[in-house]
Amino acid sequence: MRSIATDVSKSARIGLFGGTFDPIHSGHVAVAEAVLHRFRLDCIYFIPSGRPPHKPQHRPTPYLHRYAMVALVCARNARFVPSLLEAGADLTGRQRYYSIQTVRRLRRQFPRARLYFIVGADQFLELPTWKNYRALLKLCEFIVASRSGYDVKRAAKVVPGARVHLLTAVHADVSGTAIRRQVRRGESLRGWVPTAVEQYIRTHGLYKQS
């Protein structure tokens, strides 16, 4: 993982952007760039998840492929940091991590930083079902991005005690499911994912099977 410990002060403004990133796509990038500038963050950690607790039956693409695609995107922006926080000791991503664990690890590294958890409105509405969510509220603030079909302003009121910032100008309606379907159909991914990510998908033959 690229370290920012020597580049960013302990009191930095740091974003945490987690997800399966299967694959990372243009919607993710648009949200991250908007957040970076709107909230004047020093950097954003992109954290590919290992075994998502909320998707117990989902089998994502092998972890290192997903991390590699994230790293390709982060290479184009010095303030984007590809993170192995949920890779596990064997780098397979097989271990199940909860958000509270990941945020605590980053909090230990940057004890005085302002941490901003970046999440879509649909996911934020489910926050009360997350493990130890009340403890999570004390560790970080939330940047809630609008999603089609979800009232982002309602999301700000659904969790009492949450420190919430709204991102309403960006609509990231691209989905990993739709991208994987495009690949199986042999169709172009232009506009759906960054060029480097499409090249990686083609080179490694990802998503050709359902």
For the chain, the domains span: 13-204
Phi, psi for 18 (deg, rounded to 5):
-105, 165
**Predicted local confidence at residue 158, as pLDDT:** 79
pLDDT digits (tens, 9 = 90+) for 27-57: 999 999 999 999 999 999 999 998 766 665 6
* pTM to 2 decimal places: 0.90
Q: What distance in Å separates the CA atoms of residue 139 and residue 134, rounded to the nearest whole number?
A: 9
| pLDDT surpassing 80 at residue 190 | yes
Rg of the chain on CA atoms, in Å: 16
Q: Which fold has domain 13-204?
A: Rossmann fold (3.40.50)
Helix, strand, coil tally for the chain in percent (to 5): 35, 15, 50
Nearest to 44 by CA among 106, 122, 98, 123: 106
